[in-house]
A and B are shown apart, each in its own frame.
Chain A
Amino acid sequence: MQELNEGLKNEFRQAAGAVRKRLEQRPDRAGMRAYIVESGMGRFIKSRKMSKIELERVMKKGGVAGVDGSTNSTGGIFPYVITLQQAMAKSTVAEEEIYFQHVICPLLFEEAVDEAGYQELVKTSLAGLEARAALSAVEKFSPAVLLIDGSLVRLKIEAKHLWEKLKEAALDSGTLLAGVVEGISTRVISSALKGVLPEAVTGACDWELLFGVLDVGEGLEVAPGCFKEGFRTIFMRTSGDPKPIGIDLLEEQYEYLGLVENLIYTLTPESGRGIPLWLDLIDKKVKISDATIEGLLKTYLGADYAEFLAPKRAKRSP
């Protein structure tokens, strides 16, 4: 066994070496901060926890609402797939919860779609549901702040029409829209610092460069022009977790940046992974469990056909 795996070990060693090299060449905390400050691509700002009075003020203005979506599919082979989607909005003030649901299946389309196309559709459809939930939340609750799970830019791209309506409604009612991004995948910093950063981290993701660079409660506000037009973004470390989250804001509501940052910081558990608790609660409520999917399938398709959709790997013995 040892013998046999000698080659594998070598390969692994090489891979680990490459990772280590990249990590070693990554600028350290002080270096990274210096690069950013010198380039003028952003500035570091400190947030603080809001006082009870400030929070009550937010509540009087309509409180905080959150939007999140979930999608889950039966595990069959394409096109024997049924996808269930749901988006939800919930406000801290109102008791009502807003739900939008949608079922998609490749066999429902008049024109045939391939698997990749279907996946794309699933994505945009979910974004559409989320945008509708958000729009409905603004109309029904007109909250002071609406936290959306995921970036605002994504909504704009994947549900353009609804996004425009949402934006308009938010600006009208004075609701601050904030996209909260857990897994940052942008490359704002590396593209702004092109040629300045060491070669190994050229084109690195923002989270990679900012990992451990920010203090708890500290954010990097990206200068205008370095991000998508019409939006402002901040990378912020909201909890003990060294990996920052991203916060998107409308350009038009830039002046309230401080408020949004402080609010998100206040609502995030110190020892959590950095996501405001409110979005976590909504995430738990909106999530479509495998059991639900299975139950629906057995009810509406029948157990015999449901078997047809079960993928082989689900039958693996544990």
Chain B
Amino acid sequence: MQVVGLTTPQEIFVAAKERKFRINEILVIDDPYQGPLIGEVVEANSYNRFIPLSINHDFIDARVLESLERLGYSISEDEINIARVKLMTEASFPVTTGAKAHLPDFSEVRDFLVRSDREGGLALGEIKNTEETAASMDESLKGLFYVYSRGERYRTRNVPFLLDLKSFQQYPHIGIFGGSGSGKSYGLRVIMEELMVKEIPSIILDPHYEMDFSDIEEGLEGAPDFTGAFRKFQIGEDIGVEFLALGKRDLLDLLSAVKPLTEAMSSAVEILHRRGDTYVSFSSRLELLAEALELGRIRIDKMLQQDMEPAERERYKKMKELIEEYPNIPLVSVQGIAWRLRRLHASGIFNYDIKPVKEALLSGKLAVIQGPIWLLQVFSTYLLSNLYRARRDYKDGELRGQSTADYFPPFVIATDEAHNFAPKGRDAASKGVITEIAQEGRKYGVFLVLATQRPTLLDETVTAQLNTKIIFRTVRGHDIATITEETDIGAEEARRLPYLPSGDAFVSSPLFGRTVAIRVRYPYTRSPHTLNPFDEIKRYRVSAEEKLFGLLEPHLPVYETNLLKVIQALNTGAPDVKLEVKTLKESLDNLVKSGRLKKTDTPFGAMYHS
């Protein structure tokens, strides 16, 4: 291998006959005057001067090449390989042409590849095309995990990519970008697994119900057991919002998450909500006011003059008070608020609190928060503000030298579909708290891991704070443009983005000072959704058919004219089947179609038999 052609202090060409270059490979150039220079292959070419790309040239046909091969000569012997190499740090002078180059020993390039150790870093995957260098790596870094490539799963042979946890304080927050099927979800899963291994308190918002870590992949040696390391919470079933603790702002956010509030509604909520309100007190106030407004002051007065039960009288009295207190609130606003509140209540959100989440974090676990996306948005706003406040209060107290607040640990917040939580150009309930954490979180040790397939739709202030970006395959030109703008990813890498295989990613991190091409490691656990929905349909159909056939078998042969009797027998035997004549006939015909039964015409109508 040697440097050829015109060189610059930043970029050179290296040619080799004996081996092909691969993109992202690291080479050491032994410049006789400047000492060893380290560069990365950014473009790899092979050229055979005997097979030129020229229309005017004699076209060499394959048959002749094959004949030559029979005669003992292979044209590939005359191939040369050329790499465009970008130096990691600019040289003082242009590189000497003719300088030799070699594949580095691990010790030569350690600092460029590994910025952490096994204990202090999140092992996210392997650095691509570093096998040769990895061979001379310390044993403790070898074969740390499995990777999956081209249908095969094997122990990594490359240098591991370790994301240093401690560096988070300096460079907080991770962004994960990539289209669907790009491996983004795997990437997120791997990060969560690594956080669990390190027992870092974390929260993940899981709108897809896929963050379960109890299902371990088979055949992975040394896979940790995560069953005790995470806890799953369903909003409205395990956790919820303590109404009493809600501030006006929280309540407004919650209500507007159901459906945006009008100006009038917002001010109505501000007026109507009182400190110390419970759900019951607030909702009954709303309902009563709505009724009062509907009746009108005159009719309420009239009613009060009539004779009635004391309880009933009490009700009208309250109505009168309310209507006198809030004469200017329009009825529609009150009804709108009441409707939103009912919907929230129906989700069960007010029946629980967030204590279990706090407990999970305090014991260093991962809390998985599940719920439909609208509810998740509402709830996360409340949850994150609360947890963030808990941490901030503790830390601020500590700084002032008065530890009044209870201990609350630093933690990581992760979410997929992050553009829903902090969208660009429009408001969302959760946007405020996420922006705040993005800007100030590092002071308190609260970090974000935000994944999205649409970086363009993510709020710019937030994007700007994501110091480490993991970028998977991206096809949309718009998103590629955003990524190029927001990261230090180069033009070469941006061009490759649409072609990245699933699971491959570029990591742009200030810690490395360059873009590192990685392959995300194979997760130890799998998502509960790995069954293809179409397989599911098929599986269900087969099992339903199987079940019916099992029930029918003792009654065979079955006559078309006598179906009712069969149904009676079946329904007593298996009450959950609930067949009718029409559906049974259809099912029988289906069984004939699939070959399980035969249908023969007899004088008594069609007969179904096996």
Q: Which residues of A contact B (CB under 8 A)?
A: 49-50, 52, 55-56, 58-59, 63-64, 91-93, 266-273, 277-278, 280-281, 284
Chain A residues near B61: list those with CB within 8 A: 269-271
A59 and B64 contacting across the interface, CB-CB below 8 Å: no
Known contacts A277-B64, A284-B49; is A269 also within 8 Å of B58 by CB?
A: yes
Whole-angstrom CA separation of A82 from B65 in the bound complex = 38
Chain B residues near A278: list those with CB within 8 A: 68, 73
Q: Which residues of B contact A (CB under 8 A)?
A: 49-50, 58-61, 63-65, 67-68, 70-73, 78
B59 and A272 contacting across the interface, CB-CB below 8 Å: yes
A93-B72, A273-B58 provided; 10 other pairs, C-beta below 8 A? Answer: A49-B63, A55-B70, A59-B71, A64-B71, A266-B64, A269-B60, A269-B61, A269-B64, A272-B58, A281-B78
Chain B residues near A271: list those with CB within 8 A: 58-59, 61
B60 and A284 contacting across the interface, CB-CB below 8 Å: no
Show 23 residue pairs from A and B whose CB-CB distance is below 8 angstroms, ordered by the A residue.
Answer: A49-B63, A49-B67, A50-B67, A52-B70, A55-B70, A55-B71, A59-B70, A63-B72, A64-B71, A92-B68, A266-B64, A266-B67, A269-B59, A269-B60, A270-B63, A271-B58, A271-B61, A272-B60, A273-B58, A277-B60, A278-B68, A280-B50, A284-B50
Known contacts A280-B58, A284-B49; is A92 also within 8 Å of B73 by CB?
A: yes
Chain B residues near A270: list those with CB within 8 A: 61, 63
Whole-angstrom CA separation of A267 from B78 in the bound complex = 18
Known contacts A63-B72, A93-B72, A281-B78; is A55 also within 8 Å of B59 by CB?
A: no
- With beta carbons under 8 angstroms apart, the residue of A56, A277, A281, A284 that contacts B70 is A56
Q: What's the nearest-Cβ distance from chain A to residue B4, in Å?
A: 14
Q: What's the nearest-Cβ distance from chain B to residue A3, in Å?
A: 38
The main secondary structure of chain B at its interface with chain A is: loop
Chain B residue, CB-CB nearest to A50 = B67
- With beta carbons under 8 angstroms apart, the residue of B59, B64, B72 that contacts A92 is B72
- With beta carbons under 8 angstroms apart, the residue of B59, B67, B72 that contacts A267 is B67
Chain A residues near B64: list those with CB within 8 A: 266-269, 277
Q: Most A CB atoms within 10 A — which of B59, B60, B63, B70?
A: B70
Chain B residues near A280: list those with CB within 8 A: 50, 58
Chain A residues near B67: list those with CB within 8 A: 49-50, 55, 266-267
Whole-angstrom CA separation of A59 from B69 in the bound complex = 10
Whole-angstrom CA separation of A272 from B61 in the bound complex = 9
Q: What's the nearest-Cβ distance from chain A to residue B330, in Å?
A: 85
Whole-angstrom CA separation of A135 from B68 in the bound complex = 22
Q: What's the nearest-Cβ distance from chain A to residue B57, in Å?
A: 9
Q: What's the nearest-Cβ distance from chain A to residue B118, in Å?
A: 46
Whole-angstrom CA separation of A277 from B63 in the bound complex = 11
Whole-angstrom CA separation of A273 from B65 in the bound complex = 16
Known contacts A267-B64, A277-B64, A284-B50; is A58 also within 8 Å of B71 by CB?
A: yes
Task: Pick the 5 closest A-B CB pairs, nearest first.
Answer: A55-B70, A92-B73, A272-B58, A92-B71, A93-B72
Chain B residue, CB-CB nearest to A60 = B72
